[in-house]
Structure 1
Amino acid sequence: MADESRDPAGEGALETVDLAESAEGAPEAPEIAVQPAHAAADAGNKEREKLVGRAGIVGAGTLLSRVLGFGRDVVIAALFTRSETDAFSVALTIPNALRQLLAEGAVSSAVVPVLSLKLATGGDKTGRAFFAKARGVSLVALVVVSILGILFAEPLTDLFGAGYRATPGKFERTVEMTRVMFPYIFFMGTAAMGMAALNAKRRFAVAAFAPGLFNVALIFAALLLRRPLEERGIDGSMALAVGVLLGGLLQVLAQLPALRGIGYVGRPVFDFRDPDVREMLRRILPMTFGLGVYYVDLTLSRRFLSELGEGAQSYFFWASRLCDFPQGIFVMALSTAALPSLASFAAKGDREELAKTWAHGMRLSLFVALPCSVALAALGEPLVVLLFQRGHFDAESAHQTARALVWQGGAIFTVAAARQLIPPLHALGDTRTPVIVSALDLVAFIVLALLLRGPYGHVGISIAVAGSSFVQAALLMVGVKWRLGTLRARELVTSTAKIAAASAIAGIGGWGAARLLEGGVEGALGRALPGLAGSIVFAGLYLIAAWGLGVRELGEVAAPIRRRLARRASPGRPA
């Protein structure tokens, strides 16, 4: 399934990862002096030690963004009707889909690996020269796509949400929202290029914290712009479209000081004949096929939901947003932080250290993702009630969102696994495997969705997402084993078994606590207590069980925190 959970703004559905790319194989390694085995091992150990810290920086920024995003979702769910939120979901999905090619997909598959290679072999001057040319190509593509999106907003909306025509005014509102929002792709593509330079230079903080501004802009727009627009005879829901554009612009502006600090704010260079630019385009070009797969996938899911009644799109969307929260804090952060290290090891031809670093990231990812899957499946409805039930978001909305959340939440660990399986393929220059896997994943989704949407409605689409994400993760694992030569299976199986046992213990305890408190207290407090108590019990039991079972990832995640506390306790000690 298509991946919108990669969304820096946190806007997409939790669907499986589709950074669809391909290549003829790994690019030829440059002439680099071969390090002695012990030196390479030391370098690998240092990179793995830094990985959690870097992921922590990205995760902290993402946590702030997700907290703000939660506030944004609560505001939107309470202030806007289901018809308005359905329109907003589809209108934002359309430009977001193109980001897989023109923004995050291009960055992870082509810009970061090629930029990392230029920095490793030619130094900073060479890296800046390549980046200026990459930015020139990006700007041309973003301007053209933004103009086309505005011109063809109606047929695009018909493609994604034809079912809205059955409700008077709903289709027209979605078209207008799409037209206003489409330049968002220009801002997000520009921000993604800035993120590529910062990440390649191991500067993760700004790129991590900037997306929070998107949510600030939308909260501001929803609270303050709706009524003034309505007083002027304009549809009040257009406030959300204005907020999207403002949020995209703020993310670009927030990166400028950091980019200026590393010398990457020079004028773009429009040189399409440069060999490095051609290498970048060679890596991106197969994504045009992958984009076709992605669009069919995304179009069908949105089209199916648009035909399943009022609110179906919104219930699916909010379940996805709740899944984005835990996944983005650490799982996506690990993938972002790991790619430059993996690309560096690939450039040096050091596959052993690449494999160790990848396996290390996979273990840490599952340490977070598995308990999140269990928690959202076991505590779905109490959590939705706790977080969302107010205003236009009533008990029925909470129940329907929770039904979708059980399946989408249960699939978080497979999506997390896929996220960690894609970076080593990118680092090795293999973009063919993800494309093939995307096509097979699409087939799995279509079959499941067609079979399940009739008997299960919008929940059937969530079940199809979960099933296809499992297929994707399994196939990517085969691809990584083929390319890398090892999955370090014993290490991963041992770790996963312990994490799964701790998650099961926590899930049983959290579910029991939530059930005991259901209906015990009247009013808003009574609605909130089951979800709050169940979450606290789950978190406590998981940490205790992980410690008791000897889950080593607990110590690895805690190590950077202990080191930072130790430095604060000893001010004179060097960092």
Structure 2
Amino acid sequence: MSKFKVASILFLFSTLLLKFSSMLRDMTIAGLFGASGQSDIYFAAMTIPNAIVLFMLTGMKDAFLPSYYKFDQQGKGFSHLTNVVKGTFWITIGISIIGIIISPFLMRLIYPEFGRYEDGFEIATWTAIIYFIAIIFVGMNAVYEGFFDSQKKFSFSTFSQTVVVLVMIGFSLLFYRQLGIYAVPIGYLIGTIISFLIKLVYLKPKRFLAWKQKIDRKEVKAFYLIFLPVGLTIAIGQINLTVDSIFSAQMETGVVANLNYAFRLVNIPQAIFGVTIATLVFPLIASAYAENKMDQFKSGIEKGLIFMIMFLIPTIAGMILVMEPLVKIFFERGRFDAAATADTATYAIFYVGSVFFYSIQAVIAKGFYTMSKGHYILRIGLISVVLNVIFNWWFSSLYGAVGLALASSVVGMLYSIMTFTMLYRLTGGFDLKKIGWNVLKVLIAGAVMTAALIGLQQTAIPSLPILLYLVIIGVTGIIVYATGLYLLKSQPFKELIARGGNRT
């Protein structure tokens, strides 16, 4: 078995662990605070600093990996790492200070509805401030996680993110009675600090940083000129969530929280398959592009798209069929009641389109970043923000809170179409026949699986205990879908199950 396949398996496992811990965090918040005013305020207030968190965390990794490869070929990899770390440290301090200063005014400006809650503005302000403080450590963590990815140590990168989530959960459970909702953001801050310290201990001071090296401002500036459009593009999704929060905050209590729970639940396939496949594809296409092997570069993107769709279609179809039981088993406990389950399940169904299209987008984006064409995707991303405002206003006026989830799916579809079309032009085209033929097989197998599961639901199976019901549905779906792909002679499926990862 190749080292890359071992790294891929470890990364998939660590990604599953990260997603499981992330779901446990959401379950903890739902159980402790439910769909209350406090949870509404927390989720709304954290979206703005969290956009910057994603800007740094994911955007930094996407920009740093090809940049590091470039300097490493010149024997300057460690020097470049040092420059980016030091530059990021001072930049994030500036961002944090600005964020802390403007938070009191910003929360009142964009969420005036929080005045109807006792201490509403105070909770929103301190939630935002705590997240802005954490950005200092988030930035440095992001650089090192990009470095670990460049070394194909994907699992360590996700492990460090898992630490943040687990500390957040533990702190919330221990101190929610004393601190209320504040326990959640404080736990996040402590988690980011611990994650940073783990990296320092793991690498050891000498390999962590060239401490005496002066910052090469020109190199840092050149890197950030590449990074900014990449980071801003990554943050587009969170900006759109902020827009959703602004609209949903104007509705009844619980809508903000339930929309967030719904989005996070259906985000599981994107977080597992979307992030995993896109991350594994990135080093392959980045190295191919650096060596001017355009055929391999385009082939890598094609394969990434095909594998992404192969995993997403059955997962999303299955989730739609069992959405309410899923919400019930994940969230319905403590202060999260049956009414919240019904609302969250409805919102989640209308969110699935956004999960599918933004997962596809994750692979497409890697192509832009590898080619240092992030400014193209940024322009499209900004257009999507405008579209999101328009569709949110339009659909929410027609369908209420459900319209906000539907708007995200429609905007995700348009965003994905525009970016794929642009990348197609920049690269000179992909093998659409190959992609289309493989997708057709996936759709046929997925349709057969869906029909089989609908038939199964007409039996006494749904009356079984929820967990057993979900296990039966899941195992049946996997068997039927895999059998369908095998009978249709899907080449990507053959590659997936081939011994040692080789073609059969």
Q: Tell me if both proteins adopt one fold, taking TM over 0.5 as the criterion.
A: yes
| Contact persistence 2:47–2:242 (CA under 8 A) | no
Change (3 A) 1:537 1:149: same
What residue in structure 2 maps to residue 563 of structure 1?
A: 500
Task: Measure how far apart 1:355 and its partner are.
Answer: 0.7
Task: Measure how far apart 1:430 and its partner are.
Answer: 0.7
- Number of paired residues? 500
Task: Measure how far apart 1:514 and its partner are.
Answer: 4.1
Q: Is 1:465 aligned to 2:408, yes or no? A: yes
| Contact persistence 2:453–2:473 (CA under 8 A) | yes
Task: Measure how far apart 1:162 and its partner are.
Answer: 3.0
What residue in structure 1 maps to residue 122 of structure 2?
A: 172
Q: Is 1:372 aligned to 2:324, yes or no? A: no
Task: Measure how far apart 1:84 and its partner are.
Answer: 2.3
| Contact persistence 1:68–1:215 (CA under 8 A) | yes
| Contact persistence 1:146–1:182 (CA under 8 A) | yes
Matched position secondary structure for 2:168: helix
Task: Measure how far apart 1:298 and its partner are.
Answer: 4.0
Within the candidate set 13, 17, 21, 1:68 is matched to 21
Change (3 A) 1:363 1:260: farther
What residue in structure 1 maps to residue 283 of structure 2?
A: 340
| Aligned AA (1:266) | A
| Contact persistence 1:421–1:480 (CA under 8 A) | yes
What residue in structure 1 maps to residue 434 of structure 2?
A: 491
Within the candidate set 103, 106, 114, 1:156 is matched to 106
Per-residue CA deviation, residues 236-275 of structure 1 (Å, 9 max, x unaligned), is 221112211122122222333443499343328553533x
Identity of matched residues, %: 20
Per-residue CA deviation, residues 117-165 of structure 1 (Å, 9 max, x unaligned), is 112x313xx1111111111110001111112222222223235533322
Counterpart-to-counterpart distance in 1, 2:491 and 2:353: 24
Per-residue CA deviation, residues 378-404 of structure 1 (Å, 9 max, x unaligned), is 221121122222221111111111111
Within the candidate set 48, 55, 67, 1:94 is matched to 48
Matched position secondary structure for 2:207: coil
What residue in structure 2 maps to residue 243 of structure 1?
A: 187
Q: Is 1:535 aligned to 2:474, yes or no? A: yes
Root-mean-square deviation over aligned CA pairs: 2.6
Q: Is 1:310 aligned to 2:253, yes or no? A: yes
| Aligned AA (2:482) | L
Per-residue CA deviation, residues 330-373 of structure 1 (Å, 9 max, x unaligned), is 32112122222222222222111111111111111111122222
Counterpart-to-counterpart distance in 2, 1:50 and 1:327: 25
Counterpart-to-counterpart distance in 2, 1:368 and 1:101: 27
Per-residue CA deviation, residues 163-195 of structure 1 (Å, 9 max, x unaligned), is 322333333222222223322212221111001
| Aligned AA (1:181) | Y
| Aligned AA (1:503) | G
| Aligned AA (2:339) | E
* Mapping for residues 387-536 of structure 1, pairs under 5 Å: 387-514=330-457, 516-517=459-460, 520=463, 525=465, 527-536=466-475
What residue in structure 1 maps to residue 133 of structure 2?
A: 183
Per-residue CA deviation, residues 278-333 of structure 1 (Å, 9 max, x unaligned), is 32122134468759967763432210011121111111111121123222223211
What residue in structure 1 maps to residue 151 of structure 2?
A: 201
How high is the TM-score relative to the length of structure 1? 0.81
What residue in structure 1 maps to residue 58 of structure 2?
A: 104
Structure 2, gaps ≥5 residues long:
none
Change (3 A) 1:250 1:405: same
Please identify which structure carries the higher helix content. Answer: 2
Per-residue CA deviation, residues 447-470 of structure 1 (Å, 9 max, x unaligned), is 211111123222111100000000
Change (3 A) 1:531 1:202: closer
Change (3 A) 1:294 1:218: closer
Counterpart-to-counterpart distance in 1, 2:237 and 2:462: 44
Task: Measure how far apart 1:516 and its partner are.
Answer: 3.9
| Contact persistence 1:517–1:530 (CA under 8 A) | no
Q: Which moved more, 1:60-69 or 1:261-270?
A: 261-270
| Contact persistence 2:55–2:235 (CA under 8 A) | no
Q: Which has the higher contact order (CA 8 A, sep 6+)?
A: 1
Structure 1, gaps ≥5 residues long:
1-45, 230-234, 565-575
| Aligned AA (2:428) | G
Counterpart-to-counterpart distance in 1, 2:115 and 2:214: 43
Change (3 A) 1:156 1:515: farther
